[in-house]
């Protein structure tokens, strides 16, 4: 395989000292696959917010602008990809849009991969875990400048105002998302019934290309993967990063890109479970007597 030229990603996500979410989950896997990754940490926390306690700092929109200005003054604001994830602040999100638009003016081939992190479903009920005023910013400003978006089912429903109860409705929702801007839409997880049974999760993808003669062509894909009996944090961040990598390596084959993304996810999760079990066993084995 011929060597690829350096491919540089600007990743604007959260950072934690302990654990793997946001940039901590996305950076190393992208580097392993040959990407140069420049990270902006939207927050710096001691750990993710699922813990009982966390401490740290939040980057505001002025501070984000200042960091970007430093890159610009040195003329090193040259990127092939922008990747964004969890954000809690509307003005920060609006600043991200300004930066993406400026980078796209410099490089018309720049691809913006956006994970519109807003909420999820638990036991069939959806709820937002970011402030509600982020929804209109994502819907009206962010999604229109994105090229690839990776919402879960609940986030896709929020962005379009439509419920997904069947695969047909999911395809209609993906068409609505295409109409808002992105060429590639991947619904990363859904509560739709998988043909292989209840033990499987469905991810759905749609890639819309405009051909030279102006006609549109849409590729639809479905990937099923075994459900993992454990709770993880950071899986969405890893999924978006892997999808960026594999769509870059397979630009005209969303099916292969999604299969390789899901395969990487499965391997990481299974290895994480194995490692956790071994650590637990070791802790029990070496526990001192009372």
Enumerate the active-site residues: 237
β partners of residue 226: 200
Q: How far is it, in rounded angstroms, from Cα 195 to Cα 115?
A: 27
Question: Distance (Å, rounded) from C-alpha 69 to C-alpha 287?
Answer: 53
Q: Is 277 exposed, middle or buried (0-12, 13-18, 19+ CB in 10 A)?
A: exposed
Which DSSP state fits 212? T
Cα–Cα distance for residue pair 60/33, rounded to 1 Å: 31
**Which tokens is 113 given?**
């991969």
Quick one: tokens of 194? 């998988």
Q: Give Cα separations from 9 to 12, 31, 271 (angstroms).
A: 10, 10, 27
Rounded Cα gap, residues 33 and 35, in angstroms: 6
């Amino acid at each position: 395989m011929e060597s690829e030229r350096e491919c540089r990603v600007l990743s604007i996500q959260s950072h934690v000292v302990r654990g793997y979410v946001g940039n901590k989950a996305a950076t190393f896997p992208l580097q392993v696959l040959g990407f140069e990754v420049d990270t902006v940490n939207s927050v710096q926390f001691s750990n993710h917010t699922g813990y009982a306690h966390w401490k740290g700092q939040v980057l505001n929109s002025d501070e984000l602008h200042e960091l970007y200005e430093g890159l610009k003054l040195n003329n090193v604001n040259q990127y092939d990809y922008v990747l964004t994830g969890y954000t809690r602040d509307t003005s920060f999100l609006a600043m991200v849009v300004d930066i993406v638009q400026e980078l796209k003016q410099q490089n018309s081939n720049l691809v913006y991969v956006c994970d519109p992190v807003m909420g999820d479903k638990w036991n069939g009920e959806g709820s937002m875990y970011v402030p509600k005023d982020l929804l209109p910013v994502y819907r009206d400003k962010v999604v229109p400048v994105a090229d690839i978006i990776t919402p879960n089912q609940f986030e896709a429903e929020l962005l379009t105002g439509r419920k997904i109860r069947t695969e047909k409705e999911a395809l209609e929702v993906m068409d609505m998302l295409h109409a808002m801007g992105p060429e590639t839409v991947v619904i990363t997880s859904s509560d739709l019934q998988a043909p292989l049974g209840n033990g499987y999760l469905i991810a759905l993808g749609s890639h819309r290309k405009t051909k030279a003669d102006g006609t549109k062509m849409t590729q639809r894909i479905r990937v099923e993967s075994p459900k993992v009996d454990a709770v993880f944090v950071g899986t969405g961040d890893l999924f978006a990063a892997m999808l960026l990598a594999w769509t870059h390596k397979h630009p005209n084959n969303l099916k292969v890109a999604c299969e390789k993304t899901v395969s990487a996810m499965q391997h990481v999760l299974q290895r994480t479970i194995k490692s956790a079990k071994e650590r637990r066993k070791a802790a029990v084995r070496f526990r001192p007597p009372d």
